[in-house]
Structure 1
Amino acid sequence: MSESETTRGRAPGTPVTLDRREGPYGEVALRRRRAEGGSGGDRADDVLEIDDVLEIIANGTFLMDTSDGRSERLLVDAALRTLPEERRSARPSVLIGGLGVGFSLAHAAADPRWGRIAVVEREQAIIDWHRAGPLARISAAALADPRTVILHTDLVGYVRAAPGTHADRYDALCLDIDNGPDWTVTESNDGLYTEEGLAACRRLLNPSGVLAVWSAQPSATFADALRNAGFTWVADEEVRVARGAPDVVHLAVRTA
C-alpha cells in the first residue's frame, strides 16, 4: 500500500524531508509537515515549531506520525490493564518494539507502575532522531529514565533468539513495528505474525504475561493465529480515526 492509503490522524500540509537514510532494511525517512492551523510563514525548512507534525516513512510507506498517539498509548495501557492485579502491583517489565515516534515509550516511562522498560529498534536512524534529533521532544525524559534501555537489534531476530528463560522474560510485549499483521513494512517481518513467530513471543512472556500488537486495521485471521500459538485469552480494542478503518490493539495472554 502507498503512504496515502493509511491513517493515523494525518493533518494537511506539504511534507519536507529532514533526513533520509539507506540501511540494511531499506530506506527510512523523517519528514516534517505543518499541522492544520500552524503558523507557516517564511520560516526555513529546517526550523521546527511545536505544532509541526513529524512522520516516519519506511521504504516509501507511511509508518506513523506525531499528530495523535492515542492508539500508541492504548497499546501500553491495555497491556498493563490486562495483567492480573498482583502482577500490576509488582512493577512489571515491558518490551516495546519498536521505538517509532516515541509515544509508547514516553507513555510507559510516565507511568511509575512499570518497572524495566526495554525498547527494540532496528533502525539506527530512528534511534538517532530520538537521542539527538527532532523526536527528542517526545522521548527525552523517557530515554533519561533509569528504567529504560534501548536495544539496537531486529525485533523478529530478537524474539526468535531469546532463550525464554526466566531472566529473559517480560510481563508485557507491546509490538508496533508494522502497520499490522497483514501490512508489514518489510517482508522479513511477516514471520512475526505466524504461529511460529507468535509462539516465540509467548515464550518471551512470564506466565499471565500479555502480548499487545498494534494494527492500522482489523485482521480477520490474527485472533486464530494467536490461539493456535498457545495464547488462551484473546481480545481486540479499537481506536476510531478520522477516516477509514479503526486502529486496533490485539491482546493475548499467556496463562501458563
Structure 2
Amino acid sequence: MLKRELIDTVQIDDGETLELFSHGSDFMIVLGYNELMSTRMRFSEEQLAELTLDRLEAPRPRILIGGYGMGFTLRAALARLPENSQVVVAEISEKIIEWAKGPMAELTGNCLEDPRLDLKICDVAALIDDANDGTCAKFDAILLDVDNGPDGMVRADNNRIYSRTGLGKARDALKPGGIVSVWSAAPDHGFRRRMQEARLDVEERRVRSRPNNKGAHHVIWFGRTRGG
C-alpha cells in the first residue's frame, strides 16, 4: 500500500505551515489536517477559469488570477485564451512556484513560460489596488482562489479580500461588464449577500471536484459589474 510522503514545507503567516506531499503519482498541499488542493481533485478549479471565460465577451481578455496553487486554473485559462490575451497571476508564496518547477514539473508543463503569463509574487490585493489607482490596467475578470473560500482559513489577511470593502475594490478594478469569480470549498450563505452589497450581480454554481460527477461539491460565485 502506497504511503503519503512529505516532500517539502513552507511557513506562512501566523506561523502556519504548508506541506507538499506525494502519494504515488498524485500531489497534495496540506495545512494542518486540511487538504487544500490535490491533483486528484482539480475539476472545480479548472471550472473557475472555464465558466468565467464562458461569461466574458472581451475578444482578448486581460484576467487576474489570485493564487497559483497547483496551476489548474491558470492552465485551463491558457488553453482557452487567444493570442494577445494576458493572464496576471498573483501568488504570495515563492515556494509554491518552486514546487511547481521542481517536484511538480511534469504537471506544470510549460505554463509558467507562456508569453501570455505575467507572474507576480505578491498579494492579489496589491494588484487590485494598482488597477484602482491607475498603476496598471483594469481587468476583464478577476478569479479568486487564494484560500479555502471566503473564510480566510489559510491567511487571516485574506478576509479583507472577501469583505464587502474588498469585493468593492475588486469590482472597481474591472472594466465595464467585468466579472469577479470566487472559488470556495463549501457554501457560504453570507458571502453571496456581501457580493450583492458590493453592487455585483451574482450567480452561484455548484461544481464537483472531479470531472466524473464525483467528489465533493465546491462553489463558484460570479459577480458581474452592473451596467456592463
Match of 1:120 in 2: 90
SS of the residue aligned with 2:189? coil
| CA contact 2:152–2:158 (8 Å) conserved in 1 | no
| CA contact 1:98–1:176 (8 Å) conserved in 2 | yes
1:55 has 2:24 as partner: no
> Which of 6, 10, 30 is the equivalent residue of 2:20?
30
SS of the residue aligned with 2:50? helix
Deviation track 1:46-96 (CA, whole Å, cap 9, x = no partner) reads xxxxxx110112355321011131101110011111123xx1xx2111111
| CA contact 1:194–1:225 (8 Å) conserved in 2 | yes
Match of 1:209 in 2: 178
Q: Distance in 2 between matches of 1:80 and 1:168?
A: 19
Q: Distance in 1 between matches of 2:62 and 2:26?
A: 31
**Sequence identity percentage:** 30
Distance 1:226 1:93, change over 3 A: same
Q: Which has the larger Rg? A: 1
TM-score, with structure 1 as normaliser: 0.79
Distance 1:225 1:146, change over 3 A: same
Match of 2:8 in 1: 19
Q: Distance in 2 between matches of 1:155 and 1:27?
A: 20
1:181 has 2:170 as partner: no
Q: Distance in 1 between matches of 2:154 and 2:177?
A: 30
Q: List runs of 5+ in structure 1 lacking aligned partners.
A: 1-11, 35-51
Match of 2:72 in 1: 103
Kindly state the Cα deviation for residue 183 of structure 1 after the two structures are TM-superposed.
5.2
1:223 has 2:187 as partner: no
The one-letter code matched in structure 1 to 2:45 is E
> Which of 138, 141, 144 is the equivalent residue of 2:113?
144
Greater Cα shift, 200-209 or 135-144:
135-144
SS of the residue aligned with 2:109? helix
TM-score, with structure 2 as normaliser: 0.88
Q: Distance in 2 between matches of 1:65 and 1:164?
A: 36
The one-letter code matched in structure 2 to 1:18 is I
Q: Distance in 2 between matches of 1:207 and 1:236?
A: 20
1:236 has 2:204 as partner: yes
Distance 1:97 1:220, change over 3 A: same
Greater Cα shift, 216-225 or 157-166:
157-166
User: What is the root-mean-square deviation of aligned Cα atoms in Å?
Assistant: 2.1
Q: List runs of 5+ in structure 2 lacking aligned partners.
A: none
Q: Distance in 2 between matches of 1:201 and 1:79?
A: 15
> Which of 46, 69, 76 is the equivalent residue of 1:73?
46
| CA contact 1:106–1:142 (8 Å) conserved in 2 | yes
Q: Distance in 1 between matches of 2:92 and 2:165?
A: 21
